[in-house]
Structure 1
Amino acid sequence: MDLRRLTSFLAVVEEGHFGKAAERLFRSPASVTAHIKQLEHDLGVRLLDRSPVRLTPAGERFVGHARSLLAALDAAVADVAEAPAEPTLRVGVMSNGSAELTPAVVQAFQRACPEVAVEFLALDFTEHVSALVQHRVDVAFVRPAPVDERIAVDVVTTERRIVVVPASWGLADAPAVHLDDVLDLPYVSLPEHTPRQFSDYLYFADARGGLSPHRSRSHAVTPHEVLTTAAAGRGAGSALESFQRYYPWPGTVCVPVLDAPPEHSVLATRADDRNPAVRTFRSLTTSLARELGPRLRLA
């Protein structure tokens, strides 16, 4: 039964007038009249006398049912609106995350918790803390490890460092380089609000003795922007070794930095998060990192 016919019927009953009922419902008088006629046709009885407007005996009996039907619908809508939302885990991923371990963990989590939906958010270089503390993600695969009392960290991979350079630079022909070979390169510029830990990581700050890096005029907050800058011959970037497996890019070369200390990719979560899905995800991450890391040559 078309609910519009019921609302038109009840409005006419309560207003005692077809025109006033139409105004109340923001409908035309003709549509209200048509609804009443269609309802009477469906039921096979006359519900209203027209002049003056009043209920027939059948209408008297039906009006209570009509009110009950609409009340039941309102109750159903309210009940559904109060139902808990589908549980969701939001996973932030910076760059290529923790390499092959990232999809392995997500797949294991989906098998363990099929009732929890998983959503992904790509994180740029400025977000490895902010996305968590602003509750835009629940867990995040990032690098380097944040040092922040609000953030809990689980190391997932430990990898060799590389530099990403234009294929046209002489450095691109070297099978490997040392820190002294890369400290004076013009690196992509990062926004001022980039966390200090990430900029120190990108620019090999520990090896600079306090000296500032040379910065390209090109800015970057994503791996694609780093690669585009390098392909255009306008600057260099740095990353973990697994980066080159995920981002083969024409016009760029990834070169290992032999004496750069290895760096971690980590799973970061809010330190005070008691969400059972987050705890499960963390547990699976640390277990798979121990089990699969050596096989993937990431540990």
Structure 2
Amino acid sequence: MDLRRLETLLAVADEEHFGRAAERTFLSKATVTEHIKHLERELGVTLLERAPVRLTPAGHRLVRHARSLLTAAEAARADVTDAVRAAPGTLRVGVMGHGSAELTPAAVQAFRRAHPEIDLRLVALDFTEHVSALLEHRVDIAFVRPAPHDERVEVDVLTTERRIVVVPARWEVADAPQLHLADVLDLPFIRLPEHTPRPFTDYLYFTAARDGEAPRCSEDAAVSPQQVLATAAAGRGAGSALESFQRFYPWPGTRCVPVADAPWEHSVLASRAHERDPAVRAFRALATGIARELGPGLRLTPA
């Protein structure tokens, strides 16, 4: 239920007039009318009698709830803002690869606008730093994938995307509109360093679909998306990623092909469990709010 529409309902209820409610909310009369109609369609009830304008019994009940909801929302907003302003400092945000697609720059920009007193610094993370940078206090919060299963870490799921493989353009599989796990498990995958955390290794190699068998790896190793792409372009191995990868890394000599039957995977915002830093809490609130707003549509509308 949209809080803006609830604010419009309260204005109409208080003013008992659509025109005055429009002036109070700085909306057009047509927009005020549409907000009320949308709420009525959403709830399946009539909220207002039109001549004269007054609340129905259902409208009275919703107004009581609306006042409580709006008060709680404003209190939450003020609490987060005051907490961060009371503790200026530095926030180090780790980003693995392209992070959580368009959500990453959106969250960073929103935080910088809301809290200019906080020095937000971006820290690039490679594949071997899945959550180690966070646990070793080299970053305060991090955009990573996949979601770690570690009691020392809390995660907020930001995107859920289908999987792709990144392959040399001259390989036969590169021309397929999509592949299946049976097609990709025997590909020579680019090697990861031995100290790469197991969750990321399992993610890259589709380990859950291998019944415990080790992948066939190329001789070339990589710890970053750029190294994966350069190695694939040279025809020396394959990598895997989330679908949004191809929007951020168009690379000559490579192709990104969807894997139709691979389970979809999350990208997450990871923070230390029981983190009390108000800047971290504020960043999480902003990032998850943007994720809810965008929903499955990851792309931001250009300004």
TM-score when normalising by structure 2: 0.69
What is the identity, as a one-letter code, of the residue corresponding to 1:273?
E
Match of 2:119 among 117, 120, 126: 117
Question: C-alpha distance in 2, partners of 1:150/1:204?
Answer: 25
What is the identity, as a one-letter code, of the residue corresponding to 1:135?
H
Question: C-alpha distance in 2, partners of 1:176/1:225?
Answer: 24
Tell me the residue number matched to 1:206. 208
Deviation at residue 150 of structure 1 after TM alignment: 1.0
Deviation at residue 297 of structure 1 after TM alignment: 6.6
Alpha-carbon contact 1:101-1:293 (below 8 Å) kept: no
Match of 2:180 among 167, 178, 187: 178
Match of 1:187 among 186, 189, 198: 189
Alpha-carbon contact 1:202-1:238 (below 8 Å) kept: yes
Tell me the residue number matched to 1:258. 260
Match of 1:142 among 131, 144, 147: 144
Residue identity over aligned pairs, in percent, reads: 72
Tell me the residue number matched to 1:22. none
For residues 47-87 of structure 1, give each alpha carbon's deviation from its aligned partner in whole angstroms, at most 9, with x where no partner exists.
Answer: xxxxxxxxxxxxxxxxxxxxxxxxxxxxxxxxxxxxxx961
Question: C-alpha distance in 2, partners of 1:109/1:297?
Answer: 19
Question: C-alpha distance in 2, partners of 1:279/1:176?
Answer: 40
Matches within 5 A, 1:74-113: 87-113=89-115
Question: C-alpha distance in 1, partners of 2:244/2:297?
Answer: 14
- SS of the aligned residue for 1:122 comes to strand
Question: C-alpha distance in 2, partners of 1:285/1:131?
Answer: 20
For residues 19-39 of structure 1, give each alpha carbon's deviation from its aligned partner in whole angstroms, at most 9, with x where no partner exists.
Answer: xxxxxxxxxxxxxxxxxxxxx
Deviation at residue 286 of structure 1 after TM alignment: 1.1
Instruction: Please tell me whether residue 169 in structure 1 is matched to residue 171 in structure 2.
Output: yes
- SS of the aligned residue for 2:129 comes to coil
Tell me the residue number matched to 1:290. 292
What is the identity, as a one-letter code, of the residue corresponding to 1:211?
E
Tell me the residue number matched to 2:245. 243
Question: C-alpha distance in 1, partners of 2:113/2:241?
Answer: 31
Alpha-carbon contact 1:163-1:257 (below 8 Å) kept: yes
Question: C-alpha distance in 2, partners of 1:207/1:227?
Answer: 24
Instruction: Please tell me whether residue 152 in structure 1 is matched to residue 154 in structure 2.
Output: yes
Alpha-carbon contact 2:89-2:117 (below 8 Å) kept: yes
Deviation at residue 287 of structure 1 after TM alignment: 1.0
- SS of the aligned residue for 1:114 comes to coil
Question: C-alpha distance in 2, partners of 1:243/1:281?
Answer: 23
What is the identity, as a one-letter code, of the residue corresponding to 1:218?
D
What is the identity, as a one-letter code, of the residue corresponding to 2:210?
R
Question: C-alpha distance in 1, partners of 2:105/2:224?
Answer: 20
Question: C-alpha distance in 2, partners of 1:286/1:224?
Answer: 28
Tell me the residue number matched to 1:37. none
Choose 1 or 2 for highest CA Rg. 1
What is the identity, as a one-letter code, of the residue corresponding to 1:241?
E
Tell me the residue number matched to 2:47. none
Tell me the residue number matched to 1:131. 133
TM-score when normalising by structure 1: 0.70
For residues 183-216 of structure 1, give each alpha carbon's deviation from its aligned partner in whole angstroms, at most 9, with x where no partner exists.
Answer: 0000011111111000000000011111110000
Alpha-carbon contact 2:101-2:298 (below 8 Å) kept: no
For residues 113-133 of structure 1, give each alpha carbon's deviation from its aligned partner in whole angstroms, at most 9, with x where no partner exists.
Answer: 111011011100010211001
Alpha-carbon contact 1:161-1:256 (below 8 Å) kept: yes
What is the identity, as a one-letter code, of the residue corresponding to 1:109?
F
Question: C-alpha distance in 2, partners of 1:177/1:230?
Answer: 17
Alpha-carbon contact 2:128-2:197 (below 8 Å) kept: yes
> How large is the Cα RMSD of the aligned pairs?
1.6
Equivalenced residue count is 215
- SS of the aligned residue for 2:217 comes to strand
Runs (4+) of structure 1 moved beyond 3 Å? Answer: none
